[in-house]
Structure 1
Amino acid sequence: MIKLKRISLTKNSVVYKYLPWGEEDYGVISYDLASKQPKLIKDDNQNDSEYKGKALSKIKKYHKQGIFPEEGISIWK
């Protein structure tokens, strides 16, 4: 599970902080809304982490829906 917190939203990009459940460190992803290209701003420092992928997947889902909530979560098995 990860928690997402929106840091910024402009007409060109959105930036989210993602916090892996039970971990102290966090990551930050910027997503270009025009090109749909992500950029890792800060790594969560988890080796072989799927947290980055889950966070990006959730951000892409938000973009497809046209909404960017201030906070969100992603849960998987």
Structure 2
Amino acid sequence: MGNTPHLRQQFVDLNNLDNSIAIHAPGQSGHFFHQHYTDMIDPWCKLEYHPMFWSQQTLTANTTDKLHLVPQKLRAKS
């Protein structure tokens, strides 16, 4: 997956999964010259973790945007 190590930190609260947090670095791309290669370095260095929502209730309560993807219908092969 690219040229960089995957540096993921994750803390899972087994008593309440919705209290779990995580972050990964260096960024969204593993390709050295990609514009998103270093996206997550600053938050990773500052220990700015992201919540990991496990329950539907917590996920829904913290959702700001929703993207609904609908696959193109398969064409019948002739």
State TM-score, norm by structure 1.
Answer: 0.31
Could you say which structure has the higher strand fraction? 1
Larger radius of gyration: 2
Normalising by structure 2, we get a TM-score of 0.30
Comparing both chains, which one has the higher relative contact order based on Cα–Cα distances under 8 Å and sequence gaps of 6 or more?
1
